[in-house]
Amino acid sequence: MLKSKKGVFDLACGIKFSPNLLGYPRVTVIAGKKVSKSAVVRNLQKRQFRGAIEELYSRLTAVDLILLLGKSAVAMDYPAKVSLLTKNLTKAGVLTKTPTNTGVPMTVKTK
């Protein structure tokens, strides 16, 4: 999926996506050592972006998402991360205005 040409990129977070046939979205968050040498900082960023996705999860279409975190994500506060994801997911066309997948458990994996 990383070779997919569909994506929206920002300095803080790149989003690669591909539609799936499962009927619900799947999300993974990747924070490499370029984000920070400290595993504590990388894990904090992944947890915060997972929380932001959790807020938007009911509005996502059936899609597989990969969030590729960048170095500038470390300096952002949580509300800025939520608004950044909202803007980028809307730009990608995978975020609807009304909840679509209520009652579906959220599946988020991290690497």
**The amino acid at 85:** L
> pLDDT at residue 105 above 80?
no
> pLDDT at residue 2 above 60?
no
Q: Tell me if the pTM is above 0.85.
A: no
> pLDDT at residue 1 above 60?
no
Check residues 59 and 108 and name the one with the higher pLDDT.
59
For the ranges 8-12, 33-37, 77-81, 100-104, the lowest mean pLDDT is seen at 100-104
The predicted structure's pLDDT at residue 5: 66
pLDDT tens digits, one per residue of 13-26 = 999 999 989 888 99
Which strand ranges, in their side-by-side order, compose the sheet holding 107-110?
7-8, 13-19, 63-69, 26-30, 107-110
Q: Phi then psi for 85, rounded to 5 degrees?
A: -65, -40
Give the DSSP H/E element, type plus range, for residue 19.
strand 13-19
DSSP-assigned letter for residue 68 = E
Report the first-to-last Cα separation within the chain, whole angstroms. 15
Tokens of 43: 């894990």
The predicted structure's pLDDT at residue 6: 80
Q: Is 37 exposed, middle or buried (0-12, 13-18, 19+ CB in 10 A)?
A: exposed
pLDDT tens digits, one per residue of 50-104 = 999 998 888 888 999 999 999 999 999 999 999 999 999 999 888 888 777 665 6
- Diameter of the chain measured on Cα atoms: 39
Average pLDDT over residues 19-34: 91
